[in-house]
Amino acid sequence: MAKQRKVYVTEGGEPVYGVIAEFATPADVYHAAEKIRDAGYSQWDVYAPFPIHGIDEAMGQKRTKLPLVCACVGLTGAGLGFLMQYWMSGVDYQLVVQGKPYGPWEPFVPITFELGILFTAFSTLICMLAMNGLPRHNHPLLKKERFLGCSDDTLAICIESADDKFDPDQTRAMLEKLGGRNIDLVEGD
């Protein structure tokens, strides 16, 4: 039997998305991320207006499969481009050009390269959007005025209620202990 996830609601009846806390420095966020990872939370994220070196490791994130997918799709596109050209000039419509044999590979290089790049670019964009669950125009964090500062000068961590270890009171207490300030409950689903 599947384990039922507890749904938290506010006093007003709104579902709880999570708890967000601001941090003063990148070092504070980094160390808080390590502690949250070690506490066993899995549904949470760090928000910052600039990259923080090593935050992926501090959060315990695994390496993405996006480069592997893009390489496979790009090589497939290049291969299909080469086969298309070979079929057209060497098999389907054989035409002698400057006394060369049918279907030489040398003139196929530019189109093969371009189709490889085209397939890679489109697969990168589509897979990145799919893996990140984008576009999402109604994220619950966007309702919080303080969260909007993450694009300017605010560092924040949000632990989602979808996490198995989530408890609003315990999570708030942990974030306070880690040095979080302006800790707030985020409503929405």
**Same domain (yes/no): 77, 118:** yes
State how many domains the chain has.
2
Task: Note the pLDDT of residue 24.
Answer: 95
**Same domain (yes/no): 26, 118:** no
Beta bridge mates, 185: 19
Q: Which of 131, 149, 171 is the last residue of a domain?
A: 131
Q: Which of 88, 106, 131 is the last residue of a domain?
A: 131
**Same domain (yes/no): 182, 150:** yes
* Cβ atoms of 102 and 94 closer than 8 Å: yes
Mention every residue, 6+ apart, whose C-beta is less than 8 A from residue 9: 15, 16
Please check whether residue 85 lies inside any domain of the structure. Answer: yes
Whether pLDDT at 37 is above 90: yes
**Same domain (yes/no): 157, 123:** no
Please check whether residue 6 lies inside any domain of the structure. Answer: no
Tens digits of residue pLDDT in 116-140: 999 999 999 999 999 988 888 888 9
Please check whether residue 83 lies inside any domain of the structure. Answer: yes
Q: Would you give the DSSP letter of residue 169? A: H
**Same domain (yes/no): 127, 83:** yes
In angstroms, the CA 25 to CA 50 distance is: 12
**Same domain (yes/no): 127, 70:** yes
Res. 51 pLDDT band, cuts 50 70 90? very high
**Same domain (yes/no): 50, 71:** no
**Same domain (yes/no): 117, 89:** yes
* Cβ atoms of 172 and 29 closer than 8 Å: no
Please check whether residue 9 lies inside any domain of the structure. Answer: no
Helix axes 168-177, 26-38, angle to 10 degrees: 130
**Same domain (yes/no): 55, 77:** no
CA-angle at 26, arms to 21 and 31, nearest 5°: 75
**Same domain (yes/no): 120, 149:** no
Please check whether residue 1 lies inside any domain of the structure. Answer: no
Which residue range(s) make up the domain with 164?
Answer: 16-62+136-187
**Same domain (yes/no): 145, 180:** yes
Task: Note the pLDDT of residue 19.
Answer: 95
In angstroms, the CA 185 to CA 16 distance is: 7
In angstroms, the CA 186 to CA 183 distance is: 10
Q: Which of 36-50, 53-67, 106-120, 138-152 has the lowest mean pLDDT?
A: 138-152
Task: Note the pLDDT of residue 56.
Answer: 94
In angstroms, the CA 96 to CA 113 distance is: 24
Q: Which of 131, 158, 177 is the last residue of a domain?
A: 131
**Same domain (yes/no): 70, 126:** yes
